[in-house]
Amino acid sequence: MAVSEIAFGNWITHGAQVDNNTAYSCVHAALDAGITTFDTADVYSETRAESVLGQALKDQVDNRIHLDSFLFNIWIHTMLCIKNR
């Protein structure tokens, strides 16, 4: 599998700053431009970013998409924040 040189990240946009239809259009434009690597995580827009990206990609039938996702453990983060106070 080839990974595109440029990745599409949806950290603060999907599920928060742009409506879903605009986000879908952006993802499809990225695919049309040859971008096949997408970055998301469960903490982006409180999990909404992953859902929006999933909806945008759900009808893609080929194997050209590379999805990078990071699972953030809120319990560990909370414990570290409390410990460092």
Question: Which among 30, 44, 49, 53 is annotated as catalytic?
Answer: 44
- The answer to whether 44 is a known catalytic residue is yes
Please tell me what DSSP assigns to residue 5.
Answer: S
Instruction: Give the chain's count of helices (H) and strands (E).
Output: 3, 3
Q: 35, 6 in Cβ contact below 8 A?
A: yes
Catalytic residues: 44
